[in-house]
Amino acid sequence: MTPAPLIEFRQISRTYGRGEATIRALDRVDLTIDRHEFVAIMGPSGSGKSTTMNILGCLDVPTSGQYLFQGIDTTGFDRAQYTLLRRHMLGFVFQGFNLLARTSAVENVELPLVYRGMDARERRKRALTALAQVGLSGRENHTTQELSGGQQQRVAIARAIVTSPAVLLADEPTGNLDTKTSREIMELITSLNRDHGITVIMVTHEDDIAAYARRTLRFVDGRIQTDSLAAREIADVR
């Protein structure tokens, strides 16, 4: 028996408001994402990208349709079940999920492990490993405000991966970063996908950032207009 896909959307719609004023942020979206994929989500402003990420991240639920995670239908999960799924399977690098400013890098990275109730020594050990993985050894005790934008983004990524999530969800991970730093962050995310097998789903407006992904979904008006593999992947298949 083939295992269920990691992620499956079945006819997912998300509407806001009602009657004449209804906004259809997502319109009957079908989507399957397998383990170890690296997917970029693109599309114009208001096309449903963040709505999709919020549903993937269990921060929002569809108005209709089903979201299956590892074959398990999450429809009707209670708050505790969503929280468990989020904490154990998902890592977030969202612009809204900011780091604590006057708190050290290592303490920021430990935070998701505190929520898990892990003991302090183990927590510290894992946070230091995650910081080393993102190339921040030596900066563990710097506070957020003592780090550059790119270094802060690395801390955010370390915090997202410290729990060894199956999926990394990134909404514009390189937004506000210069070209060189963006490239470094993308190389880091690429290596997490390639060397650690983390499934990456990333929203971006930029073609050169999307080019790091193997697969690109383009949303238009709440629907997936195109779902394409990178040219180099197609060449590999031939």
**Would you tell me which residues interact with ligand ATP (CB under 6 A)?**
16, 23, 25, 43, 45-51
By beta-carbon proximity to ligand ATP, the closer residue of 52 and 163 is 52
Question: Are 60 and 54 spatial neighbours (Cβ–Cβ below 8 Å)?
Answer: yes
Q: Which listed option, Mg ion, ligand ATP, none, makes contact with residue 65 (CB within 5 to 8 Å by class)? A: none
User: How many angstroms separate the CA atoms of 62 and 199, rounded?
Assistant: 22
Question: Binding partner of residue 2 among Mg ion, ligand ATP, none, CB under 5 to 8 Å per kind?
Answer: none
Whole-angstrom Cα distance, residue 169 to residue 172? 10
Decide which of Mg ion, ligand ATP, none touches 182; Cβ closer than 5 to 8 Å per partner kind: none
Q: Cα dist. 164→82, 127, 136, 158, 192 in Å? A: 17, 11, 18, 10, 10
DSSP line for 84-106: HHHHHHEEEE-TTSPPPTTSBHH
Nearest approach, Cβ of 203 to ligand ATP (angstroms)?
7
Single out the residue of 9, 14, 50, 210 in contact with Mg ion (rule: CB under 5 A).
50
Supply the DSSP symbol for 27. E
Cβ 238 to ligand ATP shortest distance, Å: 33
Q: Which is nearer to ligand ATP, 127 or 200 (CB)?
A: 200
CA distance 149 to 16: 34
Smallest distance from Mg ion to CB 9, Å: 17
111 vs 220 by CB, closer to ligand ATP: 220
**Long-range contacts of residues 17-20, Cβ cutoff 8 Å, at least 24 apart:** none
| Residue 182: CB minimum distance to ligand ATP, A | 17
Task: Give 62 or 112: the residue with its C-beta nearer to ligand ATP.
Answer: 62
Pick one of ligand ATP, Mg ion, none as the site partner of residue 97 (Cβ within 5 to 8 A by kind).
Answer: none
Judged by CB, which is closer to Mg ion: 158, or 168? 168
Minimum distance from residue 169 beta carbon to ligand ATP (Å): 13
Residue 151 binds which entry of ligand ATP, Mg ion, none, CB below 5-8 Å type-dependent: none
**CB nearest Mg ion: which residue?**
50
Residue 88: partners with Cβ closer than 8 Å, 6 or more residues away: 163, 165
Residue 157 CB: number of other CB atoms within 10 A? 25
| 220: phi then psi, degrees, rounded to nearest 5 | -140, 125
Per CB under 5 A, residues contacting Mg ion are 49-50
